Amino acid sequence: MRIASELLNLFNYNLGRINPKLVNEKGDMIVMYHGVTRKNQAHINKRHVTVENFDGQIAVFKKNYEIVAVSEFFDNLVKSSKPKICLTFDDGYKNNLDSALPVLRKHNASAAIYITGLAEMHYPIIWADYLDLTERHSTGRKINVLGHSFINVSGSFISESSGQSLREVIRYLSPGYEFKVALIEALGWDLKAFDKVADREVWELVTGQEIKQLASEKLITIGSHGYYHNNLGSLDAEEAKDEMIKSVQYLQQLAGKPIQTIAYPDGSYNAEVKQAAKDLGMIYQLAAEGFRDEKDLTDTIIRNRKGIYNCGRPHTQLFDIYN
């Protein structure tokens, strides 16, 4: 049965279409990309699809859906016989400008790009990518981060006291940015060393000037992705609010327009964070791969997203969002 479904998906994809049954069942949807790279970078991480695959996927979306901006999706401003789809990008990679934007222009497709404030702090990389580029080359190494001791076992740092992975500790136990800075100091890798591990297109973030350039594009909506890329739902409520304030102020200064939308880093939020974001004018809010509260199913201020990752062939990447 699975093989037959796979063959049907491939057949439809090659014809530039999606099985109408799938389209009708899912209806309107928001999809989440991260990056678009010239080279296949799946061996580094699977968050970036290739230009070729992205181009093909947007062509298929264009044929089967009405591609709309995030505000148009939430406010139901576009009337169409086809279901609506909204394209989003998380993290604010430079490749969104260099590789994704030309494809969006080609198809006249709108997208929202959710950006951190790390460029203002002169950090051109997000902590998760930093770990992607360091963990695998540190087997057997021990580090101490603000009193937490970790040892690298088979390419992953594990807490010697709790057995939790370093990534779990960052997301849930020590989500503040101070811990991430201490981590970078503990590992001590020079960013220049990353050039020997991976092309910059897989980890480099946009600069302030590049954010201005993206904001000037009529197809692009700029949104907040937090300031430090912390898990906002794991922070103290006031700390989360302060981070969102910094994010809005930074992005509004560069974009020259109100920031009305937020995509929560790692999909992490709670009721207090949602309300604080709304109070700051971010009335279009996005989760990731599932809501954190059952009440969100009927809350019109927040929508869920399905991610597209570099897993398998182009059609399997696309059709995974229907599972």
Could you list the mean pLDDT of each consecutive 10-residue stretch along the chain, which spans 323 residues?
A: 78 88 92 97 93 97 97 94 97 98 98 97 91 89 95 96 96 94 88 84 96 98 98 97 98 98 97 98 97 94 97 91 90
- Tell me the two tokens of residue 254: 């560069």
Residue type, 160: E
| CA distance to 31, 185, 300, per residue, from 128 (Å) | 21, 15, 30
| E strand segments, the chain | 29-33, 35-37, 48-50, 66-67, 84-91, 111-115, 142-145, 148-153, 156-159, 220-224, 261-263, 284-286, 302-303, 306-307
pLDDT for position 123: 87
3-state class (DSSP) for residue 251:
helix
Q: How far apart are CA 226 and CA 150, in angstroms?
A: 27
- Who's near 194: CB < 8 A, 6+ residues apart? 125, 133, 200, 203
Neighbours of 230 (CB within 10 A): 24
pLDDT for position 1: 61
Listed by start position, the domains of the chain span 2-123+204-322, 127-194
pLDDT for position 220: 98
CATH number for the domain formed by residue range(s) 2-123+204-322: 3.20.20.370
3-state class (DSSP) for residue 147:
coil
Q: How far apart are CA 118 and CA 124, in angstroms?
A: 7
3-state class (DSSP) for residue 165:
strand
pLDDT for position 190: 77
* CB of 142 closer than 8 Å to CB of 166: no
pLDDT for position 181: 92
277, 201, 208, 193: which is closest to 34 by C-alpha?
201
